[in-house]
């Protein structure tokens, strides 16, 4: 089943805590692996030891390209077929694009979710009412 869930809100509204709690909950109760992608190592100690933490800033790639970031995700999924959940905290900071320029990225999330049965959980900072429709349908 296709699943992309976006948590959207202003800074300090609890988006990151919701993602961390969700990831920790899934790996302690469900079958499958979770990956948590962030742009820094700040949250690493908040996550259950079974959650694979990835700091994208440690990789020498231009992650601002949708194609490159989707390729990065494909590498993660193809290297571990047990990955069922991918969490991305503060997607704007990770891909360095405003939400209205993320259509290609969300299309890729949809395709990966459908083809490999992976759920994506994404936090985006901003006013939920001002997000483009392709993001609003994921609330």
Number of domains in the chain: 1
What span, in angstroms and rounded, lies between the C-alpha atoms of 90 and 57?
13
Instruction: Let me know: does 5 contact 121? Beta carbons within 8 Å.
Output: yes
Q: What angle do CA 119, 94, 22 make, to 5 degrees?
A: 35
State the pTM of this model.
Answer: 0.95
What span, in angstroms and rounded, lies between the C-alpha atoms of 15 and 98?
17
- Containing domain of residue 40, as a range? 4-136
Q: Is the dihedral of CA 104, 83, 45, 135 positive or negative?
A: positive
Instruction: Let me know: does 25 contact 135? Beta carbons within 8 Å.
Output: no
Q: What is the CATH number of the domain that holds 80?
A: 3.40.50.300
* Residues 9-61: tens digit of each pLDDT: 999 999 999 999 999 999 988 899 999 999 999 999 999 999 999 999 999 98
């Amino acid at each position: 089943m296709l699943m992309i869930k976006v948590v959207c809100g202003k800074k300090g509204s609890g988006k990151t805590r919701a993602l961390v709690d969700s990831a920790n909950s899934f790996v302690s109760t469900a079958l499958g692996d979770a990956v948590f992608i962030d742009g820094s190592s700040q949250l690493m100690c908040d996550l259950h030891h079974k959650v694979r933490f990835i700091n994208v800033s440690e990789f020498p790639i231009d992650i601002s390209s949708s194609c490159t970031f989707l390729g990065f995700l494909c590498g993660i999924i193809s290297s571990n077929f047990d990955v069922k959940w991918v969490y991305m905290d503060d997607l704007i900071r990770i891909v360095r694009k405003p939400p209205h320029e993320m259509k290609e990225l969300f299309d890729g999330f949809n395709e990966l979710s459908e083809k490999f049965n992976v759920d994506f959980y994404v936090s985006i900072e901003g006013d939920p009412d001002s997000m483009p429709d392709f993001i609003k349908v994921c609330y």
